[in-house]
Amino acid sequence: MMVAYGYCPKPRLGRDCCWLRVPAVVPLDAMAQSKHTGRTAPLLTRTGLVATFLATAGVVAVAQSAHADGIVRCWGTNDYGQCNTPADLGPCSSVAGGQYHSIAIRIDGSVRCWGSNAYGGCFVPADLGPCSSVAGGGYHTIALRIDGGVRCWGNNNFGQCDTPADLGTCSRVAGGRFHTIALRSDGGVRCWGYNDYGQCFVPADLGTCSRVAGGRYHTIALGSDGGVRCWGNNAYGQCDTPADLGPCSSVAGGFYHTIALRSDGGVRCWGWNGYGQCYTPADLGACSSIAGGGYHTIAIAGPSPLDTDGDGRTDSTDNCPTIANPTQADCNSNGVGDVCEVAAGAPDCNANTIPDSCDLAAGTAFDCNTNTIPDSCDIASGLSHDVDSNGIPDECKPDCNGNGLPDAWEISQGTATDCNINAIPDACENDSRTVTTGNMGAFGAGVTAVGALTGCVTSTTPVSLRLDLIGDLSATTEYATLKLGGVTIGSLLFQTTGRD
């Protein structure tokens, strides 16, 4: 059961509705028919988790249950096309929203945005790469790449898109109206952008955290110990964390109020309560997820869907439910995540959590000796040698004399010569030190080299020749051809004037 409470004028088309109770699994036809949606409304993902626009005028949902195909639906105010889901969007794994734009991560990790693009918030960078999480600020978009890098684009009037160069890798992102929040992989929190209320001044004693969230002008962090800290605009007490709150498992923010999900499933809210957004229903019971709209609060009642490995995907939609695999990498498309294949015994000699067969098929590894083991692993394990350290097993390199040592290595070590610099040891080239000629005509004269040839014989090597005449010769002219390894490199002209 999903419960929303807060801003509640007399219901009329296009305005908010409080005490909205709908099944946690929202049928698509119900979505399409819904009229009384929140001005700042929930986002439903197929895992049953709730996310929201920080300050939007529409709703985005990822279909689930009978429609568990990852299809994204939007409804509500659509002044800027933020609810016109692209026809070619395809199935998605996560959604988020800015004030007037929608954001989705496709199942391949690519990011799509639509709606207001006045500040470029919908211009997804061409070099963004696959992402694992997205968030929306007022008019800017934040994306967490699968490598932990953070990218922002859109309105940058206050530097909210200037990601710090020393940020490092991150595990979560969030947005305020004009500021950006990132949770580093080491648990540290960084904020940048509009800071007039101190929302970007991270407390020095904050410690490590597990989650972050943004209000309009305040920032919320969940400590690794379950404690909640808030800083920034506190005009309505939204940063006065209740002393009796106890340990929590999640946090969220509205415009001017803060929401916390206690470890026991209870929901607490504090801050501005002008629309009852902080009056938690008495019969709410334990909840599994929370989110904040501008002036209302959303919670999913009931236990969280099982997520054994804690990677943000429920077991029913996870291709490796026992080992964290947020990217759902499945290199051979067999429905089993790479990390699970490797854990089950698929060879992964270089420990990159990708089966060797996929590395070889993708061309990111080579197997010169066709033993189904990447060359680098043959060498590392000692199955092959690599005397010249070029990453290729010796048995795959030229070895003209069959002594087990690569030709190039023998030459580099000086144990073989290569006078003509063709990477073949001279000892393997019959033409390197020999000169042959043809016979001279029908007279039977032979031309032979005089003395031993030393050094490298090439087309410019001087050669002394002796002419032996056999029998009587009349005046004539004959030619002898000088060949090097069967290749003609010159000719000799012999002239006789006859014999007395």
Question: How much is the pLDDT for 494?
Answer: 56
| Segment 117-126 long-range contacts (CB within 8 Å, at least 24 positions apart) | 119/154, 119/155, 119/156, 120/153, 120/154, 120/155, 121/153, 121/154, 121/155, 122/154, 123/153, 123/154, 124/153, 125/151, 125/153
Average pLDDT, the chain: 76
Residues 6+ apart with CB under 8 A from 98: 53, 54, 56, 115, 116, 121, 136, 137, 138, 139, 140, 141, 154, 175
Contact 176, 168 (CB under 8 A): no
pLDDT in tens, 121-150: 999 999 999 998 899 999 999 999 988 999
pLDDT-wise least confident of 3-17, 226-240, 292-306: 3-17
77 neighbors 60 (Cβ within 8 angstroms): no
Assess whether pLDDT exceeds 60 at residue 438.
no
Rounded-to-integer distance, Cα 112 and Cα 419, Å:
61
Range in 2-16, 21-35, 307-321, 325-339 the model is least confident about: 21-35
Residue 54: the pLDDT is 40
* pTM, two decimal places: 0.58
Distance between CA atoms of residues 190 and 438, nearest Å? 84
Distance from C-alpha of 132 to C-alpha of 94, rounded to nearest angstrom: 8
Is the pLDDT at 20 greater than 90? The verdict is no
CA angle 195, 198, 204 (to 5 degrees): 120
Tens digit of pLDDT for each residue in 256-270? 999 999 988 899 999
Task: Check if the beta carbon of residue 19 is closer than 8 Å to that of residue 5.
Answer: yes
Which contacts (CB < 8 Å, 24+ apart) does range 78-85 have? Answer: 80/115, 80/116, 81/114, 81/115, 81/116, 82/56, 82/57, 82/58, 82/114, 82/115, 82/116, 83/58, 83/59, 83/115, 84/114, 84/115, 85/114
Bigger pLDDT: 497 vs 161: 161
In 3D space, the residue among 328, 286, 285 whose CA is nearest the CA of residue 304 turns out to be 286
Which amino acid type is present at position 248? C
Region 389-397 average pLDDT = 83
- Angstrom CA distances, 345 to 64, 315, 327, 353, 355, stand at 33, 21, 20, 11, 9
| pLDDT cut 70: percent of the chain above it | 71
Give the domains, in start order, of the chain with CATH numbers: 2-301 (2.130.10.30), 329-397 (no CATH), 400-427 (no CATH), 436-497 (no CATH)
Q: Is 400 exposed, middle or buried (0-12, 13-18, 19+ CB in 10 A)?
A: middle
What are residue 48's DSSP bridge partners?
A: none
User: Tens of pLDDT along 21-79?
Assistant: 333 333 333 333 333 333 333 333 333 333 443 433 344 433 322 234 577 777 777 88
The string of pLDDT tens digits covering residues 159-187 is 999 999 999 999 999 999 999 999 999 99
What φ, ψ does residue 316 adopt, rounded to 5°? Answer: -70, -20
Torsion, Cα of 445, 447, 450, 454 (10° steps): -160
**Which of 115-119, 180-184, 322-326, 463-467 is least confident?**
463-467
Report pLDDT for 431: 45
Range with the lowest mean pLDDT among 176-180, 198-202, 286-290? 286-290
Report how far residue 114's alpha carbon sits from residue 52's, in angstroms, rounded to the nearest whole number. Answer: 16
Q: How far apart are CA 129 and CA 283, in angstroms?
A: 44
Going by pLDDT thresholds of 50, 70 and 90, the confidence category of residue 482 is low
- What the block records as the tokens of 447 is 């031309």
Q: What is the mean pLDDT of residues 266-285?
A: 90
Number of residues in the chain: 500
Q: Cα-flanking dihedrals φ and ψ of residue 326, to 5°?
A: -60, -25
**Distance from C-alpha of 172 to C-alpha of 242, rounded to nearest angstrom:** 25
**How many Å apart are CA 375 and CA 125, to the nearest integer?**
36
The strand pair at 465-468 and 446-449 is best described as antiparallel
Question: Of 109, 134, 112, whose CA–CA distance to 124 is shortest?
Answer: 112
